[in-house]
Amino acid sequence: MDSLVEFLVAAFILLGAAFALIGSIGLARLPDFYLRLHGPTKASTLGVGGMIMASLLFFSWQAQTLQLQEVLIVLFLFITAPVSAHMLAKAAMHRGLARRKDTKGRPWKQ
């Protein structure tokens, strides 16, 4: 395998994995639900994105043709992930989950 491609693949893998982890760290350590909501829905998105990039590169290189199948994963995830986040935010607001005291503005009543 071409070392440049291999480097890129490795980099994307590490990038993706790192973002996956960072998102999950956010989920684990941020202090209120609304804040935690940001971790996964973003970092994980790029986490998956990084992996997909790695995969695209890797398989395209292996096959020596463009392999774009994985793009669909990103497409679907980008369509669906905001829905989860939105629905969970609504649920949290409905339940009146506590937000950090210094949060500006206020959630809406459901």
Given candidates 2, 60, 64, 75, which one binds another protein under the rule CB under 8 A?
A: 75
Between residue 39 and residue 68, which ones bind another protein under the rule CB under 8 A? 39-52, 54-55, 58-59, 62, 67-68
Minimum Å gap between C-beta 49 and another protein is 8
| 40 within 8 A of 67, measured Cβ to Cβ | no
Between residue 10 and residue 29, which ones bind another protein under the rule CB under 8 A? 10-11, 13-14, 16-29
Which C-beta is closer to another protein: that of 25 or that of 64? 25
Minimum Å gap between C-beta 101 and another protein is 10
For residue 77, which amino acid is it?
L
**N- to C-terminal Cα separation, the chain:** 55
Q: How many residues bind another protein (CB under 8 A)?
A: 92
Per-residue 3-state assignment (H helix, E strand, C coil) for 4-65: HHHHHHHHHHHHHHHHHHHHHHHHHHCCCHHHHCHHHHHHHHHHHHHHHHHHHHHHHHHHCC
Which C-beta is closer to another protein: that of 36 or that of 64? 36
Given candidates 2, 60, 64, 79, which one binds another protein under the rule CB under 8 A?
A: 79
Q: How far apart, in whole angstroms, are the C-alpha atoms of residue 1 and residue 4? A: 9
